[in-house]
Chains A and B, each alone.
Chain A
Amino acid sequence: MQSQFPLYPPAASNFAPRVDDLMTYLTYVCVFFAFLITAAIVYFFFKYHRKRPDEVGAPIHGDMRLEATWIIIPSILALSMFGWGAAVYVDYRHTPPDTLDIYVVGKQWMWKAQQPNGLKEINELHVPVGRNIRLILASEDVVHDFFVPAFRVKMDVVPGRYNTMWFRPTKPGRYHFFCSQYCGTNHALMGGWVTVMDPTDYAAWLSGTSGGAANPVDVGAKLFEDKACATCHIADGSGRAPSLNGLYGAQVLLADGTTVTADDAYIRESILQPNAKIVAGYQPLMPTFQGQLTEEQIIALTSYIKSLQSQPVPAKGAGIAPSARKK
């Protein structure tokens, strides 16, 4: 088990062994070179210690073969470090399909997480073992960073945009998570625990504790009425704005002829900066909701729009690109 003075934190995700292997490789190479330099210096230090006060060293000015050696060999080793590290990072930045999505909102100085069924947690995060988890990260104020040492992954949580990170927990247990981007007074207290559970325990936990929490789809539906979204985004496509039925995950045809996937980031942007991307055939009429919605309300609205995914798409007035018009 864990020694009294461990050098590695617990390893509990798909990335942990890969990052640890990289660490081991770099450590071996670097210890070798550090040892080489130190040994040479110590040896020369004693071996060539000045014997007479007027002694002079040998007139050696350099050697091209040596210079070439110590340029080429370190370059090759550096290239191998770059390549190996890049392979791990590219996998980390490329989220696999079919993830379990959890929203995480950072604010000075707490973390709020929202499970797919709407269950909310504060400074706690429950995830099932063996499942690819994607965290969709948003910040209410300054830049934070969600860091789970046992998973060997982190990602900045930047205000004004969604960042995502993913991992697959491999070992049940409770692990620290931290805020690792300095965010003000109680930065050090902005942490908590990730609980990795067996899938059955996770399911039981989800259903057993979700009673009190409001369903985000319901919260979103209410916001959709309260903020008067429904006056233009009419479900049958007859409004001044496109119907949102079937929108989530589909391709949207824009006024400039390009298409865009209607994911969380697109929906968020369309709420806060409606004029950034105009759906083909519509006028830029929508007012901005910048500053009028919290990140959590935006997540609730997104959840509601997601719930419309299965609703019938009207033949006209949906804004979805013809090629994606299904189904």
Chain B
Amino acid sequence: MSQTQTLPTRSYEMPREHYLNSSYGIRSWLLTTDHKRIALLYLVSVTFFFFVGGVFATMIRIHLLTPEGALVSPETYNKLFTMHGVAMIFFFLIPSIPAVLGNFLIPQMIGAKDVAFPRLNLLSWYIYIIGGCFALYSFSTGGLDTGWTFYTPLSSIYSNSAVTPAVLGIFINGFSSILTGLNFIVTIHTMRAPGMTWFRLPLFIWSHYATSLIMVLGTPVVAITLLLAGLERMLHLGFFNPAMGGDPILFQHLFWFYSHPAVYIMVLPAMGVVSEIIPTFARKPIFGYSFVAASSIAIAVIGFLVWAHHLFMTGMSAYSALAFSFLSYLVAIPSAVKVFNWTATLYKGSISWDAPMLYALGFIGLFTIGGLTGLFLACLGLDMHIHDTYFVIAHFHYIMVGGAVMGYIGGLHYWWPKISGKVYPEALSRFAAITLFLGFNLTFFPQFILGYLGMPRRYHSYPPEFQVLNVLSTAGASILALGYLLPMAYLTWSMRYGKVAGPNPWPATGLEWKTTSPPPTENFPVTPVVDWEPYDFPNRPDLGLTPGTLAPVPGDD
């Protein structure tokens, strides 16, 4: 590995007072209204759920080593994949980037002291914790075996597992998502610093704005849908039960009306992260700013119109299947536009090989595969065969893990010097990024082939001809696990032992880099005034980068 091209070679001092040391004690954290501290509360809690979901995933992959199932009973296996999905989707992926990085960065990026409603922000975290406790209660008292999709009448009538607390947990957690989205929308509208016009906003803000729209408009639907399923279970009402005149397919429509856009809640913020990292580490303005920004909004809007592509094989009207297939192809276009623009940004850049860039480029590769295989599933004639097979599993893991989680971890690496004030070990971080990329592909690529060969999803045992590909997948998962554990270890280590980062180590153009690392509680001592265009490296002499001059000197902010 070559030497780093960006990290500071001179030594900096930590600022005397910052948001981490401005007050001490457990109360100062649990009663904080500082968006940065709330972000850290989320960081700890979503990491916990990531770990829980990861343990379930590990057990799933070990179980599938042999055709008859190596580890657990069918009941337990069904609970493992259900709880893996619930923990990962509702309690890790959906809050991860918005609630951690979004909370930490949105006010700083627009030059504000905090979000618009700081106390509401803290309330969101408490609601998330209460919802999470319900989910953990469900996991630990009998578990949950309905699949994370909770299809009726299996979930509402036939399942003997702890469905009710899980459904209530997700219902409660929904309010956390709604309040966070509301807070972001109002913050972005009303709290931008002087000069921070809409088209000077970092693309991270645009993608979070689009995400917040989905959170506010979509979450109420899934909340009420799961509540109806819960009421059917508790009070024997007949919303979805055909024996009482209900319609089980109605549940699927309502569920996916939120849960398809929810995929964009997970991946849009990751796209925002990548749109920040790539200009910074290519030292170049983003290619086609307005196209990247507008495609975020297009994805959010069209994303609301494609939900029934999850129902092509339910016997739905062939005409409506045609409409939804067409709309699903339409939503692929803005995603493609983003990928092309990111790639074009690299052209004639000054590209560094630091860990955040490796994560961002890894994101593009994996998201491209995930997005392209979405075209296969949107294709009606192919969905006849690959619907509900491992092809689907591979596809959405490429989007949600290869895309969203790569973006999240890449973002953590990019802003870690800002969050902690410290720098992590470079060589180790690059090694972890490459491990993650290789392990991910080895885990999930074989599943595309398994799916086309006809292996259905959610199988605790399978015909012996599928074993080789399953063993490959499990082998990949062990590498993948290493790729996740490494950053957890060295990022934690760096908080205490890492080198001091300085205010703008990469350097980058955003407002968040114009304050100290870690920032003071109020973010900026004086409200900044913005008189520059986004990512405009060539016209930013304050970064000390214009060819011919030296790297930034200590204390320069």
Q: Could you tell me which A residues sit within 8 Å of B by CB distance? A: 5-9, 15, 18-19, 22-23, 26, 30, 33-34, 37-38, 40-41, 44-45, 48-63, 66-67, 70-71, 74-75, 78-79, 81-82, 84-90, 92-94, 108, 141-143, 145, 147, 149-150, 152-156, 158-161, 163-164, 176, 178-189, 273, 290-291
Contact = CB atoms under 8 A, between A and B. Distances in A.
B74 A60 contact: no
Highest count of chain A CB atoms <10 Å: which of B78, B243, B321, B351: B351
A178 B153 CA distance: 20
Nearest to A31: B372
A149 B321 contact: no
B365 interface: yes
Highest count of chain A CB atoms <10 Å: which of B5, B242, B379, B387: B379
A6 B453 contact: yes
Nearest 10 interchain pairs by C-beta: A160-B242, A149-B454, A88-B381, A57-B284, A89-B380, A85-B379, A57-B349, A44-B346, A180-B456, A163-B315
Interface string B304-325: 0000000011110010011001
B315 A185 contact: no
B315 A158 contact: yes
20 contacts: A26-B375, A26-B376, A34-B372, A38-B365, A48-B346, A59-B539, A62-B291, A78-B329, A78-B332, A89-B380, A89-B383, A143-B151, A153-B385, A154-B388, A156-B314, A158-B249, A159-B153, A178-B456, A182-B151, A185-B145
Given A57-B283, A58-B284, A290 B248 contact: no
Contact of A34 (B249, B290, B368, B380): B368
Interface in B222-271: 242-243, 245, 247-249
Nearest to A36: B343
A271 to B, nearest CB: 14
Dominant SS at the A interface?
A: mixed
B287 to A, nearest CB: 5
Given A37-B340, A89-B321, 20 more contacts: A7-B453, A37-B368, A44-B349, A48-B282, A54-B551, A56-B545, A59-B539, A67-B341, A81-B379, A82-B326, A82-B380, A85-B325, A85-B381, A93-B321, A108-B158, A147-B388, A154-B387, A158-B242, A180-B389, A184-B159
Contacts of A55: 283, 350, 545, 547
B248 A154 contact: no
A60 B461 contact: no
A184 B333 contact: no
A161 B247 CA distance: 10
B11 interface: no
B525 interface: no
B384 to A, nearest CB: 5
B318 A180 contact: no
Highest count of chain A CB atoms <10 Å: which of B341, B378, B454: B454
B57 interface: no
Given A7-B452, A60-B348, A61-B285, A180 B388 contact: yes
Nearest to B285: A61
B287 A23 contact: no
B343 A26 contact: no
Interface residues of B, number: 101
A258 to B, nearest CB: 18
Nearest to B367: A37
Interface in B455-469: 456-463, 468
B498 interface: no
Contacts of B551: 53-54
Given A56-B537, A57-B350, A181-B388, A8 B452 contact: yes
Nearest to A288: B245
B453 A182 contact: no
A142 B158 contact: yes
Given A60-B284, A186-B74, A187-B78, A93 B318 contact: yes
Nearest to B252: A143
B296 to A, nearest CB: 15
A71 B349 CA distance: 24
Nearest to B282: A57
Contacts of B142: none
Contacts of A142: 151, 153-154, 157-158, 248
B315 A23 contact: no
B468 to A, nearest CB: 7
A62 B375 contact: no
Contacts of B459: 187-188
Contact of A44 (B351, B353, B381, B537): B351
Interface in B60-86: 74-75, 78
A57 B287 contact: no
